[in-house]
Amino acid sequence: MARSLIRWSIFSAAFVLAAAALAAPQSPPPPEPAPQKPAQGVNPPPLRVQANLVNIIATVVTRREKLVTDLDRSEFHVFEDGKEQKIQFFSRETDLPLRIGLLLDTSNSIRERLEFEKDAAIDFLHNTLRRGKDQAFLMIFDNEPSVIQNYTEDAGVLTEAVQRQRAGGGTALYDAIIRASGMLADAPQPADHSAVRRIIVVISDGDDNLSNASRGAAIEAAERAGASIYCISSSTQWVSAADLSDPHKRVDRKYLMEEPDKVLVEFASQTGGRAFFPYSVDDLGQSFQDIGEELRNQYSLAYIPPAAPADGRFRKITVDVGRKGLVVRTRKGYYATPPDSPAAPSSGHNE
């Protein structure tokens, strides 16, 4: 009997303890650790993706300078240092935002034609700049280059700046191109960070007599910036000749190139631009129309360059098309610079 009572007491005590445990509030499981947030004002490290492309803008014309706009990818052949490259991207539409450096010669050598230059510059700006898309800056050069108006999309603001200019001093054309190339390499980017088209428009007679830099250094600066140079000559050295269709009629032509004329041609040909030699403001209108049409009707190509060290070496580019009698204008090459270097966009990478 005593043993039964002891067993019953033990059983009762165990039952009471179990019931008490079930009735007690249960501790919730420990919460999962919350994801760590960066400290206030500290951004997470960015994801870096290397985009190793060489971008080319090409203009294709007949020998009479008529634009050819109906070519296909298969008709283009791109060579780097003599070796053909596979074209990765191709487009006939190159309606890219423009970043334009307008360089106006205000030296003594063009005093008689300064008004001609002003009219040329203003005409170009009003016919080319598109609000909300394109931007330009105005630089003058005599003894040294000076930025008169920084980047703006307002052609009216640039026009007022052009109209205030006066002539005087020497001509530092090469220094001006170097400074303009630096500004274009660091040009304002569109909100969506899309590519831009970098252009230098030089209105000058091409006669440099005061630059610290050499002509070769100026060309290299433009190539590093990925900028094409379009030259508008203000030279008065024209030659009169008889019109073959009418011996009694005289015409003025620039058929004999002087050294300053050759300078303008070299700047244009080395960077994929074009040189114009208009005789009057009336002729100039057609020249600017040709520039605007050319900028909107070019081919965009891109390829992945061969695996090679980014040693800063100049790599030569050649672009050919399959049709006979056509001329391709494009830059002559690029400098192979590291992607993170300040000059990287100039090389054609990461544009």
Mean model confidence pLDDT for the chain: 82
* 94 close to 60: Cβ distance less than 8 angstroms: no
Q: Is 207 exposed, middle or buried (0-12, 13-18, 19+ CB in 10 A)?
A: buried
Considering the chain, what percentage of its residues have pLDDT values greater than 70?
75
Q: Which residues contact 225 (CB under 8 A, 6 or more apart)?
A: 181, 182, 184, 185, 198, 345, 346
pLDDT (tens digit, 9 = 90+) per residue, 245-289?
Answer: 555 555 555 567 889 999 999 999 999 999 999 877 677 777 878
CB-side exposure of 226: number of CA atoms within 13 Å? 26
Kindly report the pTM of this predicted structure: 0.79
How far is the first Cα of the chain from the last one, in angstroms, to the nearest whole number? 99
The rounded distance, in Å, linking the Cα atoms of 59 and 296 is 10
Which of 59-73, 79-93, 146-160, 281-295 has the least mean pLDDT? 281-295
The rounded distance, in Å, linking the Cα atoms of 109 and 167 is 9
pLDDT (tens digit, 9 = 90+) per residue, 82-125?
Answer: 999 999 999 987 778 999 999 999 999 888 888 878 888 898 89
State residue 337's pLDDT score.
Answer: 78
State residue 245's pLDDT score.
Answer: 57
The rounded distance, in Å, linking the Cα atoms of 17 and 39 is 49
* 318 close to 53: Cβ distance less than 8 angstroms: no
Structural domain spans, the chain: 49-94+310-351, 97-296
Does the pLDDT at position 23 exceed 60?
Answer: no
Considering the chain, what percentage of its residues have pLDDT values greater than 90?
56
Second-level CATH architecture of 97-296: 3-Layer(aba) Sandwich (3.40)
